């Protein structure tokens, strides 16, 4: 069984998904500093990744590092089956 999926845009994504809890996010942007292509921010500097953002294949390690860097523990990473 493959551990990748292809989304509607044709981008291969891993089985990892990341969610931000915007009630915890304080806009430190540490996630963005580590992986700006994944951890988008809104105009006020708060995370805008939303719920269950799929992690592209090949970005798993840097995205995990970005999640770990959040001092507010506002980011959660989950593996879908």
List interacting residues with ligand SF4 (CB under 6 A). 20, 25-31, 39, 46-47, 70, 72, 74-75
Pair of tokens at residue 18: 């990341």
Q: Minimum Å distance from CB 26 to ligand SF4? A: 5
Q: Is there a contact between 18 and 60 (Cβ–Cβ < 8 Å)?
A: no
Q: Minimum Å distance from CB 22 to ligand SF4? A: 8
Q: Minimum Å distance from CB 5 to ligand SF4? A: 24
Q: Is there a contact between 5 and 68 (Cβ–Cβ < 8 Å)?
A: no
């Amino acid at each position: 069984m493959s551990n990748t999926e292809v989304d509607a845009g044709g981008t291969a994504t891993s089985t990892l998904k990341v969610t931000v809890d915007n009630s915890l996010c304080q806009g430190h942007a540490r996630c963005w500093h580590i992986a700006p292509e994944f951890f988008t921010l809104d105009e006020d500097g708060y995370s805008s990744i939303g719920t269950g953002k799929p992690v592209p294949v090949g970005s798993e390690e840097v995205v995990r590092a970005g999640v770990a860097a959040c001092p507010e523990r506002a980011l959660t990473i989950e593996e879908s089956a």
